[in-house]
Amino acid sequence: MLALTGAVIIVSALLSGLVQRTGFPQVAIFLTLGLLVGPHGLNLLSAWLDSPILRVVATLSLVLVLFTDAVSLDIGDVRRHRFLSFLILVPGTLASALLIALAAWWLLDLPFVMAIVLGAALASTDPVLLRDLLRRPALGPTVRQALKIEGGMNDAVLLPVVLGGTELLTGTVGGGDWALLAGRVLILSPIAGILVALAAVKTLAAMRSRVGVRRDYESLYSLGIAFAAFAAAEAMHGSGYLAAFAAGLTVSAIDVELCDCFLEYGETTAEMALLFTFVLFGASLIWSGLTILSMSSALFVIAVLLARPASFLPALFPARLKARERALIAWFGPRGLSSLLLILLPIFAGVPNSTILLTICCLVVLVSVVLHGLSSMILVPPEAGAVPTTVAQPESAAASPAADPIAQLEDPEYISIDQVTAAMKSGTPVVVLDARSERSYEDSGETVTGSIRISPDSPVADTRRHSVARDAMLAVFCA
């Protein structure tokens, strides 16, 4: 397991640039890695439903998916685009889940409640595939904003459907118990997450002001909030998953500094956990979907792929988006790890005959990874949408530059605004790069005059795209 963990980290790091440049689905690489080390390959690893490691990793991954989705949300953006958010989450996501459920009930002859659970799981979008897509400049700000809102909130809408259906299928809830169950899941669980997050952030603020807290440890602190919220809700017989989402949403709303810190390091840790889970599924379980290939299962996969456009295209019409924007939002709903993790909940709860749900879900995920992954390379090319520009220099830049302006700095790693101004006046070619995080950039609403906006995820590619002179002094603004 340690070797496999190391392999996931090494492979993801080495291929990160290639994945970003080509747009090749990262998930496909790790499913292939799982196939290589699994029973169908070198037989070094197997992870079946009765494997304790699968249960532990799946639980941790779903907690991290929900928490990172919530903590990545910009509450201000959600408020500003509340009508678009409503269209995406209610008539869009829920209608898509209902259409998939009807297709499962009709084509696969599943019991209706079981079909509802499957529909809710398959209406969830994959955060890893979506994250790579959202980083591409060609996507456009409106589509990016819509998909970010959906990726951050749709699991919270679908999870209660899966949990309620699971309770109904297990037969543990009677008529009068539904109000108690709804109270525990929909009220007690979010409250537990909110209280844990408030206490944690208050404690962190107190420690910051008195003794200070190292920034790298704040990332780990965020992970601790997620797991503590999960444990608190589970201890009260609520849903730890909804508590983790509520905790992330609370952190996002009240402590931006902690959110940025988490997004810089903690989100990478969460992504490693998700990719590790993909390897586990790729070793054994995911390929079980190929064993049920038939006319009815093929028709169901087609119905799943068409259910999202059929729901989202009319749902988004009142938003008055451009036709291309509406089409991209309606198409890019890749199914992946979040669907697999949601469908594991009724299996772990002991729902009879629920393993068929996972097999069906695996088939849909395999098709979605290939189809959505390849179509994203064509419809939204990774390097498209960038217009090369040249950087205008002050008139004094034509003069002879100083012999070595960087050597004149007291600390070559840091430069003040006065030193930037002095360098420009002396004739040194200076380029100011705005490399703030996406969240800080969008929240501030302020820009540096004459600066070039580059992404902290791809600084080299962005500077090349803007034709920045190689001999220029780069003053990077990242506060």
Summarize pLDDT for 200-237 with one digit per residue, the tens: 999 988 898 888 887 777 778 888 999 999 999 999 88
Report the alpha-carbon distance of residue 60 to residue 276 in Å, rounded. 11
Best CA proximity match to 284, nearest among 53, 52, 37, 25: 37
pLDDT digit string (tens) for 378-416?
888 875 444 344 444 444 444 444 445 555 555 556 777
> Residue 36: what pLDDT?
84
- Taking residue 118's Cβ as centre, other Cβ atoms within 10 Å add up to 33
Of all residues in the chain, the percent with pLDDT exceeding 70 is 87
The pLDDT tens digits for 247-277 are: 999 988 886 667 666 666 667 777 777 778 8
Q: What are phi and psi of 143, to 5 degrees?
A: -65, -40
Residue 473: beta bridge partners?
430
pLDDT surpasses 60 at 70:
yes
More confident residue, 88 or 284: 88
* pLDDT (0 to 100) of residue 393: 43
The answer to whether 313 and 326 are in contact (CB under 8 A) is yes
Helices (H), 211-320: 215-235, 240-254, 256-261, 267-283, 295-315
pLDDT band at 88 (very low <50, low <70, confident <90, very high): very high
Please state, in angstroms and rounded to a whole number, the distance separating the CA atoms of residues 71 and 249: 5
Which residue intervals of 380-450 are DSSP H helices? 417-425, 438-444
Q: How far apart are CA 151 and CA 338, in angstroms?
A: 10
430 close to 391: Cβ distance less than 8 angstroms: no
Distance CA 28, CA 22 (A): 13
Burial grade of 43 (CB within 10 A; 0-12, 13-18, 19 or more): exposed
| pLDDT value, residue 189 | 92
Residue with tokens 């501030």: 444
pLDDT in tens, 108-137: 999 999 999 999 999 998 877 787 788 777
Write down the pTM of the prediction: 0.77
Task: Write out pLDDT tens, residues 157-187.
Answer: 999 999 889 988 887 665 556 677 777 788 8
Query: Could you tell me the end-to-end alpha-carbon distance of the chain, in angstroms, rounded to an integer?
Result: 39
5 has pLDDT over 80: no
Mean pLDDT, rounded, of the chain? 82
Phi, psi of 434 (to 5 degrees): -95, 100
Q: Please state, in angstroms and rounded to a whole number, the distance separating the CA atoms of residues 468 and 472.
A: 7
How do residues 7-58 score in pLDDT, each as one tens digit? 777 887 787 777 777 777 778 888 888 888 888 878 877 778 878 888 888 8
Q: What is the DSSP letter of 400?
A: P
| pLDDT tens figures, 316-337 | 999 888 999 999 999 998 888 8
pLDDT grade for 106, boundaries at 50, 70 and 90: very high
Q: Which stretch, 147-151, 402-406, 463-467, has highest mean pLDDT?
A: 147-151
Tell me, what's the pLDDT at 362? 93
Hey, which bits of 44-164 come out as E strands?
Answer: none
Chain length of the chain: 479
Tell me the Cα Rg of the chain: 24
- Per-residue pLDDT reduced to its tens digit, 423-463: 888 878 888 888 877 666 766 667 777 788 887 766 777 77
- The enclosing H or E element of 452 equals strand 452-453
CB 402 within 8 A of CB 408: yes
Minimal CA–CA distance to 233: which of 189, 277, 170? Answer: 189
Residue-range domains of the chain with CATH: 2-379 (1.20.1530.20), 395-477 (no CATH)
Across 299-310, average pLDDT: 96
- DSSP label of 402: P
- pLDDT higher than threshold 80 for residue 348: yes
Amino acid 29: pLDDT: 82
